[in-house]
Structure 1
């Protein structure tokens, strides 16, 4: 007789009227703290019900996972479909029973059926998803700018006018500027309708002592054209010596380094401020080269986006390459065996499309789909992965040539979570 503890778990899609119960599983699995009503309402609206799965123990929902229909910028400027894997959780009573594996199995099968070449996610714990073929593809930089201890050397640029604006009223213009930046940096996501609300999310109960959200716009004086913006909040702290406010930057976008420098200078000049903090910048952000002393920034690098090719051929053919490449990759992918085997990648370089097809030719490099995910956006080089023993060179010279071809001139970056 089968005991209740060993009864098989099943995975199925949810219905719209199950959302509260389904989302409640996520909340309990992440510690039981309830979100602010505004946050919960937004995630309800953004959830794609037809892409949402539940793990069930008999009739009880004990696990969950979903995906967003994203498009992501890749090296070369193309923007490809990508499933944004999200809301993945299993109740503590049902861990180590294969629930997560069952969710990942069903989800990746569904993504393949939909024809999405890529899957991406952010991880609460970075070690979880490697066994399902996800590799860390981007990093993010946390920095603190201490007021009075650094100097910004701003490059020349057009005269700018800064003005404060209501964040909601300025949102359409800010979204238009953000959209112009998407193809310029791998990892940026096109924001579908509804996602423009995410940067504006500012529930009073979740401010933690900070002010309501502020928005400052940078406009060209001569034309009035918007060329940058920053959204931020201020905590009016005090210490024994007087005011010690913290300016927390939620996001900052600019078309030029000169505009970015002007916005950072504005933030550093906030009255009563002791420091400016930001928890997500690209690792090659111009700010690092504008400040007089990088050490004062207290930089800390954290993981960002994790990526896995769902269809290796379509994924590799969809991105651009920095130089001509002709390489045969032996790909290991035990979780999605349709990707396993040899693939010949050919590209004329930045001026032409790539092709990636199955081949019986001898392999030049051997790697798993996880390493392919790490290198896909140009965040990790194939050479660095080889030095870690995670890529094997089978033909002399193939590694250096392929690594240079996979490289990106700008570091990939995900500006916000999902």
Structure 2
């Protein structure tokens, strides 16, 4: 570690701190709207700066999130973000020092989990973070891909779609009701985050200089029986060639409470005039959209890791979620960076809850804290990691039983970065 002063940031130092963060990520200044939002959501008591004299050499912060986990509980999770080191101060141990201080602080705050969106996954694996949620990205060729009919979504009169009425709304003016719908969806999937004050504005952030030729952000609402049942936010990027229009619909958000509203929104997005493509992502890897389109091959699907997770308190983390089947297993966990987690833990639980405590009983499965983070939300199987040699079975049958218990019916998903 170089001779730097690592301490909590003061509000009046934020501009200097943020310039170093921007520099670490390429040096392109963000728009005034973006900077204002990120300052508004900054919790200064959770923001670290590594100072070398009057220069900020390193930046890191965490947000006091609540993360949806299997079973529907909202668990305290430190949302690690804005981690950067000035290019003049690389390879001096500053990142490791910030990670060390941050995880110590998270543990002291009693938060069982830490999560982040990794710019480079290989960096954070050595601090115990593993990819726990993945997302689909794609671009559908709407000239060759249609949407299959879904019950209750046939076109009806007066702009209705099988009882679902669609109407355009101002993204800002509809923000509160869209946010209320998101809150209703929050526990439907592990990995979703309860948004703190000001975070709702991330969904309508639309700096003119970053549209890349697309229209301003638009919003369409799906209503049924006088109630909001879903919404989509998107922009249209016009384009033409000698054969005619070939614009693209750029989808930011789609949320719905039922299949009819969900299908109606996607049918609308696929049918916008003067466009021949719909770009989307991040979407859940098991998104129903996959079963609505006529030709997956023409959707250009790609999968990417999104949410990385590490248990900060193994016992509290494993006890906070429920399990698909009954489980009673002794785990031997390795954790070099947070040694308080290392050792044997007995996990006993089912669909009603769980207990996870220290034990002296013989281990049945051996794994690292990173592997535990990868399977925690149910999106990665223990069996797959065992096949890669990253989980070891000591008692025959323990892997199969634990794998079934950790699985979850829906894939974890992070709707947006942070």
1:184 equivalenced with 2:181 (yes/no): no
Q: How does 1:220-239 map to 2 (within 5 A)?
A: 220=224, 223-239=225-241
Residues 34-75 of structure 1, C-alpha deviations (whole Å, 9 max, x = no match): 001100110011111110001122342100000011001000
Alignment partners' CA distance in 2, 1:263 and 1:118: 35
Q: How does 1:255-274 map to 2 (within 5 A)?
A: 255-274=257-276
1:175 equivalenced with 2:179 (yes/no): yes
Q: Which of the numbers 29, 32, 43 marks the counterpart of 2:38?
A: 43
Alignment partners' CA distance in 1, 2:95 and 2:348: 36
Alignment partners' CA distance in 1, 2:5 and 2:400: 46
SS state of the match for residue 399, structure 2?
Answer: helix
Report the alpha carbon displacement of residue 195 of structure 1 after superposing the two structures with TM: 0.7
Q: How does 1:366-377 map to 2 (within 5 A)?
A: 366-377=366-377
2:280 matched residue in structure 1: 278
Report the alpha carbon displacement of residue 368 of structure 1 after superposing the two structures with TM: 0.3
1:86 equivalenced with 2:81 (yes/no): yes
2:23 matched residue in structure 1: 28
Alignment partners' CA distance in 1, 2:111 and 2:232: 33
1:299 matched residue in structure 2: 301
Q: Note closer, same or farther for the CA distance 1:70–1:299 as it changes in structure 2 (3 Å cut).
A: same
1:164 equivalenced with 2:173 (yes/no): no
- Do the aligned residues in 1 keep the contact of 2:2 with 2:93 (CA within 8 Å)? no
Alignment partners' CA distance in 2, 1:314 and 1:195: 27
Alignment partners' CA distance in 1, 2:187 and 2:271: 32
TM-score by length of 1: 0.96
Q: Note closer, same or farther for the CA distance 1:7–1:368 as it changes in structure 2 (3 Å cut).
A: closer
1:321 matched residue in structure 2: 323
Report the alpha carbon displacement of residue 148 of structure 1 after superposing the two structures with TM: 2.3
Range 294-303 or range 256-265, more displaced: 256-265
Q: Note closer, same or farther for the CA distance 1:142–1:37 as it changes in structure 2 (3 Å cut).
A: same
- Do the aligned residues in 1 keep the contact of 2:230 with 2:261 (CA within 8 Å)? yes
1:335 matched residue in structure 2: 337
Report the alpha carbon displacement of residue 261 of structure 1 after superposing the two structures with TM: 1.3
Report the alpha carbon displacement of residue 7 of structure 1 after superposing the two structures with TM: 4.6
- Do the aligned residues in 2 keep the contact of 1:154 with 1:262 (CA within 8 Å)? no
Q: How does 1:136-147 map to 2 (within 5 A)?
A: 136-147=131-142
Range 8-17 or range 295-304, more displaced: 8-17
1:411 matched residue in structure 2: 411
Report the alpha carbon displacement of residue 251 of structure 1 after superposing the two structures with TM: 0.6
Report the alpha carbon displacement of residue 224 of structure 1 after superposing the two structures with TM: 1.1
1:121 matched residue in structure 2: 116
Q: Note closer, same or farther for the CA distance 1:336–1:7 as it changes in structure 2 (3 Å cut).
A: closer
Q: Note closer, same or farther for the CA distance 1:7–1:287 as it changes in structure 2 (3 Å cut).
A: closer
- Do the aligned residues in 1 keep the contact of 2:164 with 2:260 (CA within 8 Å)? no
1:8 matched residue in structure 2: 3
1:378 equivalenced with 2:373 (yes/no): no
Report the alpha carbon displacement of residue 203 of structure 1 after superposing the two structures with TM: 1.2
Paired residues in the alignment total 409
Range 295-304 or range 145-154, more displaced: 145-154
SS state of the match for residue 250, structure 2?
Answer: strand
Q: Which runs of 5+ in 2 are unaligned?
A: 153-161
Alignment partners' CA distance in 2, 1:250 and 1:12: 37
Residues 241-261 of structure 1, C-alpha deviations (whole Å, 9 max, x = no match): 111111000010111222211
Report the alpha carbon displacement of residue 202 of structure 1 after superposing the two structures with TM: 0.5
